[in-house]
C-alpha cells in the first residue's frame, strides 16, 4: 500500500528575490525555512505557485530546489514543484528534484496549451514512468484553465508512482467521488486554505498552504487536530481563520502573502513582474486583518 508523502501542514513557501528581482536571496530563503521548521511545519513545498516558479529560469528553479533540500536537511519533508506545460521540461525538473533528494514531486496540470483528459493521462504517465519519487498531482483550474476529471484521477491512481493530489479546484463535491473511485492509498491534500478541515473530514491528509507562510504553528495545530479526529476543535480554528484566508487572497497570490510577511518583519523579497506590489487600500485591509487575528506586526 502506498504511503502519503506527508500528513498535516505543508507550506507553499515563497521565494525571496533580491530588491531588484534579479536573483534569489538565499540568505532570506534560509531564514524562511528555519522559521517554518521552528513552527513545526510537516513539509515544505518549494518552487510552487506561491514560490513564483513561473518566472524562474530552469537553472534558478533547480538551484532553489537544491538549496531548500540542503537547508531542510531531513527535518521536514520537501515537495518539489516540477510541473510544466512542456512534458519534457516536467521530466527534466522531476529527475533533477529526485536526484537532489526531494521526498515528493508536485506537478501542476499543463497550463496555457492545456490538455484533453487523455492528454493529462499521457502527460502524467510519461513523467511518472521516468522517476521513482512519489508524484502529487496539482489541480488548480483557476490558474491553469485545465481541470482534472474524476475519471482521470481514477486512471492515474492506478500508476504506482502517482500517490495523490493537491486539490484546489474548489469543487468540493468531487472529493468523496475521488475517494470512492481511487482507493484508500490515493491521497488528497487541500490546496485551498479555507477548505482544509472539511476536506480532512472526508479523509484528506492535510494541506499545502499559503497561510502557513504567515502562521505556521496555527496551520500545524489545526491539521493535527483533524488528523487526531478532533474535528469540533479543528472546525472552530478553520472558522476563525477565514478572514485571514480571504485577506491573503485579496489580490492574486503571492502578492498579499509577501506583503503580509513584510509587515511581520520577515524578508519576503521582491515580487517578479508581471506581479506588482499590493495596492494601498488592500494593504490597509490586510494589515488590519493580521492585527485582528492577533499577529504582531513589525512594519
3-state secondary structure of 78: strand
The verdict on whether 138 is a catalytic residue reads yes
* Residue 256 CB-half CA count within 13 A: 22
3-state class (DSSP) for residue 161? coil
Rounded to the nearest 5 percent, the helix, strand and coil shares of the chain are: 45, 15, 40
Q: What's the Cα-to-Cα distance from 30 to each of 39, 63, 72, 188, rounded to whole Å?
A: 14, 13, 9, 29
Phi, psi at residue 188, to the nearest 5°?
A: -120, 130
Choice among 62, 124, 153, 166 that is catalytic: 166
117-154 in b/e form (b: 16+ CB < 10 A) is: eebbbebbbebbeebebbbbbbbbbebbebbbebebbb
- The phi, psi pair for 40, rounded to 5°, reads 85, 10
Q: Identify the burial level of 213 via C-beta atoms within 10 angstroms of its C-beta, where 0-12 means exposed, 13-18 middle and 19 or more buried.
A: buried
What distance in Å separates the CA atoms of residue 105 and residue 3, rounded to the nearest whole number?
14
Query: 62, 77, 138, 187: which is the annotated catalytic residue?
Result: 138
Q: Which residues are catalytic?
A: 138, 166
Amino acid at each position: 500500500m502506498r504511503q502519503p508523502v506527508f500528513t498535516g501542514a505543508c507550506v507553499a513557501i515563497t521565494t525571496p528575490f533580491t530588491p531588484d528581482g534579479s536573483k534569489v536571496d538565499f540568505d532570506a530563503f534560509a531564514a524562511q525555512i528555519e522559521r517554518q521548521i521552528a513552527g513545526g511545519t510537516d513539509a515544505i513545498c518549494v518552487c510552487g505557485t506561491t514560490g513564483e516558479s513561473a518566472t524562474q529560469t530552469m537553472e534558478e528553479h533547480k538551484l532553489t530546489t537544491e538549496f531548500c533540500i540542503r537547508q531542510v536537511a531531513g527535518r521536514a519533508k520537501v515537495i518539489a514543484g516540477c510541473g510544466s506545460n512542456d512534458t519534457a521540461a516536467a521530466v527534466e525538473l522531476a529527475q533533477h528534484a529526485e536526484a537532489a533528494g526531494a521526498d515528493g514531486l508536485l506537478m501542476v496540470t499543463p497550463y496555457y496549451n492545456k490538455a484533453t483528459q487523455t492528454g493529462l493521462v499521457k502527460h502524467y504517465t510519461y513523467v511518472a514512468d521516468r522517476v521513482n519519487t512519489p508524484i502529487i498531482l496539482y489541480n488548480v483550474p483557476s490558474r491553469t484553465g485545465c481541470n482534472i476529471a474524476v475519471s482521470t484521477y481514477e486512471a492515474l491512481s492506478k500508476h504506482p508512482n502517482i500517490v495523490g493530489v493537491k486539490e484546489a479546484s474548489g469543487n468540493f463535491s468531487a472529493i468523496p467521488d475521488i475517494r470512492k473511485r481511487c482507493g484508500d492509498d490515493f491521497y488528497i491534500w487541500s490546496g485551498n486554505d479555507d477548505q482544509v478541515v472539511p476536506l480532512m473530514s472526508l479523509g484528506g491528509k492535510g494541506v499545502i498552504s499559503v497561510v502557513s507562510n504567515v502562521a505556521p504553528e496555527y496551520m500545524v495545530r489545526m491539521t493535527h487536530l483533524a488528523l487526531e479526529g478532533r474535528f469540533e476543535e479543528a472546525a472552530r480554528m478553520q472558522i476563525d481563520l477565514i478572514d485571514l484566508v480571504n485577506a491573503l487572497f485579496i489580490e492574486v497570490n503571492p502578492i498579499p502573502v509577501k506583503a503580509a510577511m513584510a509587515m511581520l518583519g520577515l524578508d519576503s523579497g521582491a515580487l517578479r513582474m508581471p506581479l506588482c506590489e499590493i495596492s494601498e487600500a488592500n494593504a490597509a485591509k490586510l494589515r488590519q486583518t493580521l492585527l485582528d487575528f492577533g499577529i504582531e506586526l513589525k512594519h
